[in-house]
Structure 1
Amino acid sequence: MAENIEVVVIGGGYAGVMAANRLTRRDDVTVTLINPRPSFVHRVRLHQLVGGTDDAVVAYRDVLAEGVRLTVDTATRIDAAGRGVALASGGTVGYDYLVYAAGSGSADPSVPGAAEFAHPIASLEEARRLRQVLDTTPASAAVTVVGAGPSGIETAAELAEAGRAVTLVCGGELGPYLHARGRRSVAARLAELGVAVLEGEGAKVVEVTRDAVRLGDGRELPSRVTIWTAGFGVPDLAARSGLSTDALGRLLTDETLTSVDDGRVVAAGDSAAPSGLPPRMSCQAAMPLGARAADTVLSRIAGERPETLRQSFTAQCISLGRRTGIFQFADRSDVAVWFNIDGRLGARIKETVCKGIVGHLADEARKPGAYRLHRIPGSARRRMLLEAGRGEAAVPAEQAVRA
């Protein structure tokens, strides 16, 4: 009888669930998913939770394969030498292979007063706390959203559409990822919703107080509720466990997503830094990375050489309230191009994408191996950077595997 192989997945987000589901392709593999929450958080809908139009939660029974064992707990340390994961509740879960998909959260803001008086929304708990604050705050009260990326734009639009008086502080350029044409479309929609958009070097926040936001050019904005969407951070679990990470704390891997320290540790999602060239933190990257990580583990179990990463991007979609959105097309290197779809059709596409994310995970749960998007040819720019030696040196996975 074949020996059972234990695979532990840390993190039950987009990458972790995709990896866990895909690993059930083999009958001799037992998969344990460690996650601090009993439900799946649909992070691309957290701004809707803040705006009161969605709860951003999906039951794991709807997206997780029946054969995956869900352990609701928090991983506190990885013992790579002993092949075990210590849990906050006590005890250790052993593994033969580990998929590190710890995800990302709000970055600790360095701006004075931001940690004390501003509200982050990168996690379910943060978004729920902000929702409670807004529920007890008059609709006419000034709301300031800091950060002009997708999270900031979506949150500002969602709240403005609900009748809130919103100022979006960009700290630079509105939607820096967008093409100039798409940026104009977003700016026009925000203006229609009544959002005051502050751009430029002078619009950098230098201090947050209980009832105001101070900018670099000396302006002081009244702000009853300040929402912080600028930047993401990752858990320090890998670094605390003695594994090699990049400057942000993402686990360093080779192009098969295998840790440069240990061939039995594979990373996926926002907490992975393949060759020191991590893709943009996003759901669009997380699910293909989760599938690739699972395929790497399965290849190693089968005694085969894992395939390398093929990370490709095609677009970014941003909702601008419930009635309007924008679908910004991009090349495979994640550079926005001139073409976009906006207006009501843009909103419908964004909603289709949000539903499709859950659909991909559910399909993989029912039929492991069904997901194929991680096999699309990758970015030529990434290949060029790797050939030029721009990524951090990675130990070949075959040298890192431990018996």
Structure 2
Amino acid sequence: MAHRIVILGGGYAGVTAANRIARRLDGAEVTLVNERATFVERVRLHQVAVGESIVLRPLRERVRPGVTVVVARAGGIDLDRREVVLERGASSGAQRLPYDTLVYALGSQAAPAPDDAVALATVDDAWRARDRVGALAAEPGPVAVVGGGLTGIEAATELAERHPAVRVRVVSDVDPGSWLSHRAQRHLRRVFGRLGIEVVSGSVADVRDGAVQLTDGRVVGAGLTLACTGFAVPSLAAGSGLAVDGTGRIRVDGTMRSVSHPDVYAVGDAAVPELPNGRDFRMACATALPMSAAAGTAIADRLAGRKPAGLRFRYVNQCISLGRRDGVIQAVDGDDSPLRMILGGRVAASYKEAVVRGASWFAAHPGPYRPARAVPA
């Protein structure tokens, strides 16, 4: 009987893992489970939110021949029976999909946000925001972007550039881009000034009735509030009994294998590798792609009787788009600490676009990943 490998999640991490496994293993049954039939470039959702178009490619076109795509939601994992509970809709009921090896690549979702705010974590979120932005652009009103992190910065600059009549305010309890070098922060402030983006410092207490209410009593008017306050992982892993950290991410070793269940691997935003230097990976394509490639290689090596070498990874840079015509590329050391060197302007925008396109291409065409030489077990 063929070895049954099930991958949960059809984002960058899941597609990379499925293609890597299918490329290296002959005769295995590889099944990719995803809620949508399309592959979504999540790093472009801020573009969708302001009215730009992106191509949603059928998931079956992004995976290698031999990978079976199942459109369903993973509602549970029975670790003892090695089965995934699939939910296809009320009419179909729950179904069980058996596995010999499971790859958990369900990624992350928006952190909890007030009901009156719109998040930017899924393509449905982005479409919802796009409709609201379109109405505001026709009859200009203010937009509040809550959060000074990467998503908030990219959403605010994209919006201000495409809809200059819309007043954009970034509401954050920390300076936007505070983790960047001083040179990168100066460039960011110049772009905010050029685009007319206002920064409001403060902590958000609530969002309702067309306004953002701060903890100090101030009120920031907003016809639309975009919640860009970070990401959280689904509760499925913890609820199923897998060993997780304090945020719910699956604890894995250097080969992306669960420390509690050896027939389960986890990659991408929902996994936290236990690496010798104690580093904590940030949620990003930059980490999801090599993690997934390493997991696929490890699974193939173990099934072939070889000892997998595990993940070897270092950071190189952080790429931030500031609209379609500007950006900032922050050089970092191997541990992700900012260095002095940056790129800005159109060169940085082109660089970021190339990185985004490259991530999508790599997921569909993962080449040979050799973290180290695999040796017989």
Regarding TM over 0.5, the answer is yes
Gaps of 5+ in 2: 89-93
**1:42 touches 1:58 (CA, 8 Å); kept in 2?**
no
Shift of 1:55: 2.7
User: Which residues in structure 2 correspond to 1:288-327 (within 5 Å)?
Assistant: 288-327=290-329
Aligned identity (percent) is 39
Shift of 1:72: 0.4
Matched AA of 1:292:
A
State the distance in 1 between where 2:178 and 2:358 align: 26
**221-230 or 256-265, which moves further after superposition?**
256-265
Residue matched to 2:107: 103
Matched AA of 2:133:
L
Residue matched to 2:91: none
State the distance in 1 between where 2:241 and 2:121 align: 26
**312-321 or 33-42, which moves further after superposition?**
312-321
User: Which residues in structure 2 correspond to 1:3-402 (within 5 Å)?
Assistant: 3-24=1-22, 25-55=24-54, 57-89=56-88, 90-109=94-113, 114=114, 116-137=115-136, 138-162=138-162, 163=164, 164-199=166-201, 203-275=202-274, 278-364=280-366, 370-372=367-369, 375=371
1:371–1:133 Cα change, 3 Å: farther
Shift of 1:277: 5.2
State the distance in 2 between where 1:317 and 1:375 align: 24
**2:46 touches 2:151 (CA, 8 Å); kept in 1?**
yes
State the distance in 2 between where 1:172 and 1:356 align: 31
Shift of 1:135: 2.0
**2:15 touches 2:364 (CA, 8 Å); kept in 1?**
no
Q: Normalization by structure 1: what TM-score?
A: 0.86
Gaps of 5+ in 1: 365-369, 377-397, 399-403
What do the CA deviations read for 1:128-177 (whole angstroms, capped 9, x no partner)? 11112222234520100011111100100011012221001121121123
Matched AA of 2:149:
G
How many residues matched? 361
Shift of 1:58: 2.9
Matched AA of 1:302:
A
State the distance in 2 between where 1:358 and 1:97 align: 25
1:174–1:157 Cα change, 3 Å: same
State the distance in 1 between where 2:368 and 2:328 align: 26
**1:258 touches 1:266 (CA, 8 Å); kept in 2?**
yes
What do the CA deviations read for 1:227-261 (whole angstroms, capped 9, x no partner)? 00001011111111111111111111122211111
Give 3-state SS (helix, strand or coil) of 1:375's partner: coil
Give 3-state SS (helix, strand or coil) of 2:306's partner: coil
**2:16 touches 2:364 (CA, 8 Å); kept in 1?**
no
**2:50 touches 2:129 (CA, 8 Å); kept in 1?**
no
1:285–1:52 Cα change, 3 Å: same
**2:8 touches 2:105 (CA, 8 Å); kept in 1?**
yes
**1:253 touches 1:273 (CA, 8 Å); kept in 2?**
yes
Shift of 1:97: 0.4
What do the CA deviations read for 1:63-107 (whole angstroms, capped 9, x no partner)? 211221000001111111111111013211111101011100101
**1:45 touches 1:54 (CA, 8 Å); kept in 2?**
no
**2:279 touches 2:335 (CA, 8 Å); kept in 1?**
no
Shift of 1:62: 4.0
Q: Normalization by structure 2: what TM-score?
A: 0.92
State the distance in 2 between where 1:61 and 1:7 align: 17
Shift of 1:27: 1.2
Q: Aligned Cα RMSD in Å?
A: 1.7
